Amino acid sequence: MGMEKQVLDYTLVPTGLMIMVGYHIWLLYQVVKHPTRTVMGINAINRRFWVRAMMEDVSKNGVLAVQTLRNNIMASTLLASTAIMLSSLIAVLMSNHGGNRSAGEFVFGDRSELGFSIKFFSILVCFLVAFLFNVQSIRYYSHASILINVPFKKMTLHDHHKISGHVNAEYVGRTVNRGSYFWSLGLRAFYFSFPLFLWIFGPIPMFVSCAVLVFLLYFLDVTCDFGWVSGASDDDKDVEANNNGHC
């Protein structure tokens, strides 16, 4: 009976992780090749438009731009603080061997000391990765809050030629998008921690959590409302030109 329980860990856990990883590989392909079919892709396009609009008149839009980026920094800071706090909590639980033994009574699967250590360590890695991604998000948003208020139109012609090749609306837009991408990756790390946390109670809850999470994420990540992007400017040639409104 004990061997059968271990077999569940060896089969269901890798299968659940493959479902999660496979879905995100597919999502990455969609974001790169068909950005207007995904929420992240459409948001990235709109962020570039927003940066251009904010930089058209810095004197009028500067406060709005900085306040918007500050809200994003606060969101990333909250997730980073939560991640490092949970990492500390998991580290304490890893050192509490007695808690592992008591939790083993509710586990239908591997109850070994090594098994519990692997489970807690996997959750710890997820939270540490989430912390690092959110710190990088704060970094890019902080850079963008300065760059977005550079008054290009008020610079002399000589100064403008010096920096136009290095700092412009497209560069600032890429910086804002990188901050958002790192925030999304940090959030995905939190999502990955859900199945790993349920793995503590056995491979069956972990596998079911992976399947349900992928099902829910699909409806959050994919969108059909992308026909309007076909009229984008020439600067957005990376957006596919044959959008026909079908998913």
DSSP state of 25: H
Residue-wise pLDDT tens digits, 164-174 = 545 688 889 99
The span from the CA of 234 to the CA of 119, in Å, is 49
58, 66, 164 from 146: Cα distances, Å: 11, 8, 16
Domain boundaries, the chain: 2-228
For the segment 3-16, the average pLDDT, to the nearest whole number, is 78
pLDDT of 215 over the 70 cut:
yes
How crowded is residue 185: how many other Cβ atoms within 10 Å of its Cβ?
17
pLDDT of 240 over the 50 cut:
no
Identify the band that residue 107 occupies on the pLDDT scale cut at 50, 70 and 90: low
Identify the band that residue 16 occupies on the pLDDT scale cut at 50, 70 and 90: very high
For residue 138, give the nearest of 94, 195, 75 by alpha carbon: 75
Residue-wise pLDDT tens digits, 70-101 = 999 999 999 999 999 998 888 887 777 544 44
Identify the band that residue 31 occupies on the pLDDT scale cut at 50, 70 and 90: very high
CA–chain centroid gap for 31, Å, is 13
For the segment 112-119, the average pLDDT, to the nearest whole number, is 79
How much helix, strand and coil, in percent to the nearest 5, is found in the chain?
85, 0, 15
Average pLDDT, the chain: 81
Q: Do 12 and 204 touch, CB atoms closer than 8 A? A: yes
How crowded is residue 155: how many other Cβ atoms within 10 Å of its Cβ?
14
Q: How is residue 21 written in tokens?
A: 């990883």
User: What's residue 190's pLDDT?
Assistant: 94
Q: Do 221 and 188 touch, CB atoms closer than 8 A? A: no
pLDDT top residue among 226 and 37: 37
